[in-house]
Amino acid sequence: MEETMLHTVSDPELVRVFVAATPAEWLPMKVLEFSIREQTELPVELSAIYTHARTIPVPKDPANRARTPFSFQRFLIPELCNFQGKAIYMDADMQVFQDISSLWKTPFLGSDLQTVGNGSGGRRSQFSVVLLDCAQLNWKIEDIIAQLDDGTLTYQTLMFDMKVAKSVSYSLPEKWNSLEHFERGETCLLHYTDMNIQPWVSLSNPNGQLWVECLKRAIEQGFITRQQLNQEVALGHVRPSLISQVTSDSLSNWKPSLGEIWRDLHFSPPFYAITASNKGGLRTALSKLSRALQILKLAVVSQPAHR
């Protein structure tokens, strides 16, 4: 069901979270929402930005066009909040482990938005966890695309430098956007950035059990239903083996059957459609080969040795 209502400020404690996603990311987005809710007592309102049905124009120059269907979605948030209050932007491929109130209550100190500085491993700053002062950000997506078209902005200065904000603060702790690295008691937000091994499409993620455990709790508490999980598998959004894994009595002892491995091998993650258009067929083919080798390796180690 599409959302068209603007989010106005009725409760200053209400944590408004907007997630960049497509329908294919529904399940990881719901797990993200559950992980936020189980760690805080504050009221939370989370929505996928695409459900607001706000049209985003396409830049004329292909070099300035969105790299993913949701790249430009974050620039809609102030408008969706009626340019009032504040909001948090997140990607769908995340999981929260600490109370989001510490992020929500971070003072702006004169900045329009706050984000995490350099990511793990020396990666450039990621605008994938952002606290926005919607009252100070008069963004209109048509104006932003017009600036891309007239050369005032480029894709790089828009997405990586956030030139549409007057004052950007990189003061959020790195633990609020930990890229593929988890330390119990320290990590606030784990970002599953490697699409090939995200837990909902692969069994090879070193931190994958954390995400599956969260999904299992969400199902046990009725936040996500078994029927919804089955539907996401049937739609080809998540790996088939996830059903057996999340319903097992012991996640630590669970191993996929040969049939489940076979079905995972034939599962094509939705992100391949994005990588094929952005990076070309060769890189996508190599990614598929790497994924197939990972699954076949899993098939060998998962089966009992014959004496």
- pLDDT of 3-26, one tens digit each? 444 555 557 789 999 999 999 999
What distance in Å separates the CA atoms of residue 120 and residue 238, rounded to the nearest whole number?
A: 27
What distance in Å separates the CA atoms of residue 71 and residue 138, rounded to the nearest whole number?
A: 19
What distance in Å separates the CA atoms of residue 248 and residue 254, rounded to the nearest whole number?
A: 7
Please check whether residues 170 and 273 belong to one and the same domain.
no
Please check whether residues 160 and 261 belong to one and the same domain.
no
Q: Is the pLDDT of residue 122 over 80?
A: no
Q: Domain for residue 187, yes or no? A: no
* pLDDT (average), residues 267-283: 68
Q: Hey, what are 124's tokens?
A: 């450039």
How many domains are contained in the chain?
A: 2
Which residues constitute the domain of residue 264? 194-302
Residues in the chain: 307
Q: What is the pTM of this model?
A: 0.88
Higher pLDDT among residues 67 and 15, named by residue: 15
Q: Domain for residue 5, yes or no? A: no
Please check whether residues 296 and 252 belong to one and the same domain.
yes
Residue 125 pLDDT: 63
Please check whether residues 245 and 162 belong to one and the same domain.
no
